[in-house]
Chains A and B, each alone.
Chain A
């Protein structure tokens, strides 16, 4: 309104100045040198239509003055023609200047649009490139695991056929020939028996492996005293050692703190190692013990056996690898014991390795983290699978709702990830302390204090955690309430550009409903720079009132608490003119260096289940990126921008 009023004042001034000039003698007027430039100046400033009106008003005023006989000069027609032609020239000049300025502005706008579009294109190309890389990596991984499965199956059949063929041969021999002496007969029966035992072990170990790999092995994590663990395992193998005349030595310092793990599984690891040590040692002793190495308990099993060659040390933990140099009386195993041990240790967040001098003996070591605080058993809600994601940790799904946690885990496992679950950040931290996760997927973004706790923790442990934030949209299960996308703090022009891209018009009208002035201002500036008009509101009612019958092209809803946000969306969806406007939600970002965020809208399908694919895709991308190149620059690229829709 102010601007218009100024225009009218200026137009009136023009009329006044022209009238004074005319009344004081036209081109001979003593004021002309001052007034004529002033008139030109004013004419250039005001609207062209108003200028026309001013000219028209002036003519009428002049005619009136003539009729009222108030003009002192008698050369009226001449003066009129002179003044009007001056006025016309002024008008033409003003018009030309204005047109040129408008043209220039349009050109500038076009250039700006072009730049922002090409920036956007660059950004999208980058995104596509990253998606492509993540996809091809996932594909490679799947192929690899498929190949591994085939090899595993072939190996299993091979390993089963060998004892089976002994059993079949000897039983048939015993059935065919009646004239076998009783000693040989006994020997054959013993062989059948031992070979069937071998088969049983093989089948059991295979089942163990399958359980570990399919995530069905449920770990019962609790605090264990290393001394008890060792004593329990030694008890099992003592008869075997005594039979071979081998001494068993224990080396357990008294100050070893408790470890955190599954007692049964860790006992199995120790027994496997002790069994091997006894098997491959003809004489001497086996020593088993533990010592503290930082915050890890390092167990060892040392023997004075024949040792392992360096090239064998590398592959000894592979499935179905067996030391074979054709020694006929060499004890035989399934080739799975060490592979199982490796998987169990890895699941506990530890490492297993061997050191050996051929001819002198070997020492197997493995580590398990010790407990840091005097917490009780934390086994509930903690069921997980082994850590063999190409050397990276599993994905820890941190979600309060058990249903969503389970379904997310199931789907992640379906695409080949190993997962762990936790329902609170505390539980998550406990689990993460035992098993270093490769990625934490969490939905505690709304509560900044919890995320901060997680970040502090991540920083203390020097672990970089990727916080993949999922936004179930909407919580009520009504698809029509779904947000169309998210804006993430800190805002940038790419986010705005891709948001505007949805409307295919550059100058949209936006309603920004936000409780934070700073946030609203930032959005206003960014949208304004793209030529959009914005209106700021504090709540939905205000927005509905102010917008009247002309709804905005889109509504941006700022950092309200979740329930408030839902209220606002629900309210606005009920207002007829807002019914079809898309909604964008602002998400608090800025988790800092240790926590990066990814977002995805998770729509709810007809049957009430969540369609998690967008989130899985976002997580996959984040996971691949994290391990591909973990720099801040890269991290920002996927953290930003709109995801979802």
Chain B
């Protein structure tokens, strides 16, 4: 697989066989989390999941992922808040953010962009599109 050769995919086996997490998926709907993580894992990414805002931020801080999927409406911390936190933190701001939401209004898109999100995805989504989007974002990040 292509991305196994890319620079951000490090440490296969280097730190005790543990593969670094590339993507964090945060959503309070377990089915969404499961579907996304299944597809991304299947496509060769390593994925960590979170069911609420606080958990998501904790996961992001400890894993330093290259890409984060964030649902807007989540308990405890909203996706927007997390996105702002990531983009304001010099250590985290390199993580790419895709906002994932049920709300398809233009206002949400604008707000996401203002919060510093890199992409915006409306549910229901096609897993294939998600993978394509993730790939292109990560490649762009590389370039």
Binding site for B on A (CB under 8 A): 154, 157-158, 161-162, 164-170, 172-173, 176-177, 184, 191, 195, 324-326, 328-329
Assess A172 versus B31: contact at CB under 8 Å? Given A162-B102, A165-B102.
Answer: no
Assess A324 versus B75: contact at CB under 8 Å? Given A161-B124, A166-B32, A173-B39.
Answer: yes
B29: interface (CB < 8 Å): yes
Instruction: Give the docked Cα–Cα distance between A329 and B42 (Å).
Output: 24
Instruction: Give the docked Cα–Cα distance between A331 and B49 (Å).
Output: 20
Of A164, A165, A167, A177, most B-chain CB atoms within 10 Å: A165
B29 and A162 form a contact (CB under 8 A): yes
B31 and A166 form a contact (CB under 8 A): yes
B135: interface (CB < 8 Å): no
Instruction: Give the docked Cα–Cα distance between A165 and B101 (Å).
Output: 10
Q: Please name 19 pairs of A and B residues whose Cβ atoms are closer than 8 Å in the assembled complex, sorted by A.
A: A158-B102, A161-B124, A162-B29, A162-B102, A164-B123, A165-B124, A165-B125, A166-B32, A166-B124, A167-B124, A168-B124, A169-B39, A169-B124, A170-B35, A172-B126, A173-B38, A191-B31, A325-B75, A326-B75
For window 48-84 of B, CB contacts with A under 8 Å fall at 51-52, 55, 73-76
Other A-B pairs, 6, CB within 8 Å; known A154-B103, A169-B31, A169-B125: A165-B31, A165-B32, A173-B35, A324-B75, A326-B74, A326-B76
B30 and A176 form a contact (CB under 8 A): no
Which B residues are CB-close (under 8 A) to A158?
Answer: 73, 102-103
CB distance from B47 to the nearest CB of A (A): 14
B4: interface (CB < 8 Å): no
- With CB as the reference atom, state the residue of chain B lying closest to A170: B35
Instruction: Give the docked Cα–Cα distance between A169 and B42 (Å).
Output: 14
A164 and B75 form a contact (CB under 8 A): no
- With CB as the reference atom, state the residue of chain B lying closest to A179: B42
- With CB as the reference atom, state the residue of chain A lying closest to B42: A177
Interface residues on B, range: 20 to 34
A195 and B127 form a contact (CB under 8 A): no
**A-B interface, 9 closest residue pairs, ranked by CB to CB distance from nearest:** A165-B124, A169-B35, A326-B52, A165-B123, A166-B31, A161-B102, A168-B124, A326-B75, A164-B124
B23: interface (CB < 8 Å): no
B28: interface (CB < 8 Å): yes
Which B residues are CB-close (under 8 A) to A329?
Answer: 30
Instruction: Give the docked Cα–Cα distance between A543 and B104 (Å).
Output: 76
B127 and A172 form a contact (CB under 8 A): yes
A166 and B126 form a contact (CB under 8 A): no
Which B residues are CB-close (under 8 A) to A170?
Answer: 31, 35
Assess A172 versus B128: contact at CB under 8 Å? Given A324-B28, A326-B51.
Answer: yes
CB distance from B141 to the nearest CB of A (A): 25
- With CB as the reference atom, state the residue of chain A lying closest to B123: A165
B123 and A162 form a contact (CB under 8 A): yes
B36: interface (CB < 8 Å): yes
A176 and B103 form a contact (CB under 8 A): no
- With CB as the reference atom, state the residue of chain A lying closest to B126: A172
- With CB as the reference atom, state the residue of chain B lying closest to A329: B30
Instruction: Give the docked Cα–Cα distance between A176 and B124 (Å).
Output: 17
Instruction: Give the docked Cα–Cα distance between A230 and B102 (Å).
Output: 39
Which B residues are CB-close (under 8 A) to A161?
Answer: 102, 104, 123-124
A173 and B29 form a contact (CB under 8 A): no
CB distance from A290 to the nearest CB of B (A): 36
Instruction: Give the docked Cα–Cα distance between A427 and B34 (Å).
Output: 58
Instruction: Give the docked Cα–Cα distance between A167 and B125 (Å).
Output: 10
Of B31, B34, B74, most A-chain CB atoms within 10 Å: B31
Which A residues are CB-close (under 8 A) to B127?
Answer: 169, 172-173, 176
- With CB as the reference atom, state the residue of chain A lying closest to B130: A169
CB distance from B126 to the nearest CB of A (A): 6
Instruction: Give the docked Cα–Cα distance between A165 and B73 (Å).
Output: 15
B29 and A166 form a contact (CB under 8 A): yes
CB distance from A307 to the nearest CB of B (A): 18
A195 and B128 form a contact (CB under 8 A): no
B31 and A176 form a contact (CB under 8 A): no
- With CB as the reference atom, state the residue of chain A lying closest to B75: A326
Instruction: Give the docked Cα–Cα distance between A195 and B34 (Å).
Output: 14
Which A residues are CB-close (under 8 A) to B126?
Answer: 168-169, 172
CB distance from A110 to the nearest CB of B (A): 67
B30 and A328 form a contact (CB under 8 A): yes
Which A residues are CB-close (under 8 A) to B75?
Answer: 324-326
Which B residues are CB-close (under 8 A) to A167?
Answer: 124
CB distance from A202 to the nearest CB of B (A): 13
For window 15-52 of B, CB contacts with A under 8 Å fall at 28-32, 34-36, 38-39, 42, 51-52
